[in-house]
Copies of this chain bind each other. A is one copy, B any other.
Amino acid sequence: MRNYVIAVDLGGTNIRVALVHADGRITRRISRPSLVREGKARVIDSLLSAVEELYQENYEAPQGIGIGVAGAIDLKTGTITQSPNLPGWDDVPLQKLVKERLSFSAEVFLENDANAAALGEYWKGAGAGSTTMICLTIGTGIGGGVIVNDMVLHGADGMASELGHITVDPQGPRCNCGNTGCLEALASATAIQKSAADALRAGHRSSLKSLWNRDPDSLTAKAIADAAYDGDDPARRIYQDMGTWLGIGIATLINVFNPEKVIIGGQVSKAWELFIESMQEEISRRALRVPARRAELLPARCGDDAGLLGAAYMVFSAKETGGKELRG
């Protein structure tokens, strides 16, 4: 019985590889630095050697290999078309490259990391039991994944559910994507840091001031959340405002998808109590009654494993459905 999958989470900082069972258990993990600067070949070698290590330990080939990658994927060819986190990885046919070099025979599946995280939450996390759900991963940027009728929303080029780049304020700050007022430019960790720096520069009295004076880089979203939990007013307001912007974006998504669940993950979601109230208030104000009442707002449950679980689920569900459901 080959009832396990090798799941890979290929990010700009780390390559994480895990052995995932059909019930979602993870029984073995390997994590290594991606060393992106040493070039593509080196990264792929490193990925493959970790995969082979898990294979050797298990004597038998896995059901398949699922890879989540931070970047745009051409699903038809299994190619990374572009990746902000893997500079220079334009048009890399990773699916083929991995499959060809394996010492054993296995199908390889590729997916965008935010979609993989959504799938992970859908399979074994806060999304379990739903058929239509939205997952937002809030970190340095904001990633999005949408499940519609138990399928990942891919769009024509696998570029759908770029939920960080919906416009929530047409006059808002510039986003890395070139647009102004994207959700990501107003509600990501980066946006929170920027708001705090702006508040301090504007002379607001805050316990963050001394931290900022010592080292501006230490003014992280986490440090700002800590200050907010300690009652620091400017820090609290920053998270409240972030919740307002997030609520505007989620209200739009609720009116568009009428989802059963909206799941929020990523490092910033740990500050849940700091933004949930203003977020909910904005959703009640802006979303239509029936879909607003339907949509459960939940923190993600799989943490850093969401992407690995989703990568594994791609393989398991492809075997069940002949690949139709997820590759369609």
Contacts and interface: CB of A to CB of B under 8 A. Distances in A.
A285 B179 contact: yes
A233 interface: no
A148 B156 contact: no
B148 A291 contact: no
A156 B294 contact: yes
Describe A's contact surface by its main secondary structure: loop
A155 B259 contact: yes
Closest CB pairs A-B (n = 10)? A155-B258, A160-B258, A159-B258, A166-B252, A162-B255, A179-B286, A165-B255, A156-B260, A159-B291, A156-B294
Nearest to A169: B170
Assembly stoichiometry (copies): 2
A137 interface: no
25 contacts: A72-B290, A81-B290, A146-B256, A149-B328, A155-B257, A155-B258, A156-B258, A156-B260, A156-B294, A157-B290, A158-B258, A159-B258, A159-B290, A159-B291, A160-B291, A162-B255, A163-B256, A165-B288, A167-B248, A167-B252, A167-B286, A178-B285, A179-B251, A179-B285, A180-B286
A92 interface: no
A161 interface: yes
Interface in A81-117: 81-82
Contacts of A255: 162-163, 165-166
A1 interface: no
A227 interface: no
Contacts of A153: 148, 257
B290 A177 contact: no
Contacts of A162: 255-256, 258, 288, 291
A180 B285 CA distance: 9
